[in-house]
Amino acid sequence: MTAFGTRFAVTAVATAMLAVAPVSAQNTKAAAGDHPQTVLFIGNSFTYGAHSPVWKYRWYTVNDLNGGDVGGVPALFKLFTQEAGLNYAVSLETSGGKSLQWHWDHKRQLVDRPWDHVVLQEYSTLDKQKPGDPASLVTYSGKFAQMFKAKNSHVDVSLTATWSRPDQTYLKTGAWYGKPITQMALDLRHGYDMAADASSDIDRVNPVGQVFSCAIAAGVGNPDPYNGIAYGKVDLWAYDHYHASRFGYYLEALTVFIDITGQDPRQFGSQEQAARELGISPDDAVRLQDVAWARTHGQDCATLFKPA
């Protein structure tokens, strides 16, 4: 099988854009004490944080609609909003290894209600049988977005474009074998962009895969875990070289936090609480915050930590 072949070209934006308006379509700033903004996450193990301490992390702070006591990326997002002084009520509907079509077929009645924000995440290769093919993503993200828009015409719907998988890149059995580690993320992003372009009810794509690639370009993330982890770098993936590690899920949650709230996570700094509780060093927490903000605002990742 071959990967979806079209390369997505990401337009570089000047570093000065660090000072521009937030990327969120709604630019929501729900101050603590106001009526909370509601957020729903729909996805699979890449949303619930499989193979990492993120899976059950602070499960009691979010509402797992499936009753599974899952915290995951939604719980990280929730904590970030609290640290920023914002008021968000966070829910999730997740199931491992599932596509958006599966969630539509089996869970849509559970989530069919008004929400302020919805974050949708597709299977990690877009299509399990045809890696890189966005057809199902386009169809079912559009169906979900239309359903949510019918319940709240102002709902903010975003799609989370996920990361390159080393097992799909470095192993001969992988659909992206022989390509750069960043290529899979580009192809996935292209598919998510097609879905967003196909539906006027979808507001944007959360560039999680590109943030992973930014971490690699910046010298924070190790590009090939099969060759070991270089000194001073973090492993963005879990032991299976497929799911994310605590560092990777931290990056995912930071990216979604930026895109929904418009807030700068660099405000958290070295003493950010989730990083402390997950065993992420203060220095790594700061570097990951820098990477997430830089990539979502168009900064050149390769020069991020180089002296001026």
Read off the pLDDT of residues 257-303 as tens digits, 9 standing for 90 and up: 999 999 999 999 999 999 999 999 999 999 999 999 999 999 999 99
pLDDT band at 30, cuts 50/70/90? low
Read off the pLDDT of residues 165-213 as tens digits, 9 standing for 90 and up: 999 999 999 999 999 999 999 999 999 999 999 999 999 999 999 999 9
Please state the pTM of the whole predicted model.
0.90
Report the pLDDT value the prediction gives residue 171, as an integer from 0 to 100. Answer: 98
Find the mean pLDDT for residues 113-136: 98
Distances in Å between the Cα of 206 and the Cα atoms of 1, 67, 69 are 27, 26, 25
The alpha carbon of residue 237 and the mean position of all alpha carbons in its chain are separated, in whole angstroms, by 14
For domain 35-298, the CATH architecture is 3-Layer(aba) Sandwich (3.40)
Find the mean pLDDT for residues 71-89: 98
Q: Where are the domains of the chain?
A: 35-298
Report the pLDDT value the prediction gives residue 306, as an integer from 0 to 100. Answer: 87
pLDDT band at 33, cuts 50/70/90? low
Report the pLDDT value the prediction gives residue 17, as an integer from 0 to 100. Answer: 33
Cβ-contact 160, 121 below 8 angstroms:
yes
Read off the pLDDT of residues 143-163 as tens digits, 9 standing for 90 and up: 999 999 999 999 999 999 999
Find the mean pLDDT for residues 73-79: 99
The alpha carbon of residue 208 and the mean position of all alpha carbons in its chain are separated, in whole angstroms, by 4
CA-to-CA distance for 150 and 280, rounded, in angstroms? Answer: 41
Q: Count, in order, helices (H) and strands (E) of the chain.
A: 10, 6
Percent pLDDT > 90 in the chain is: 88
Burial class (CB in 10 A: 0-12, 13-18, 19+), 279: exposed
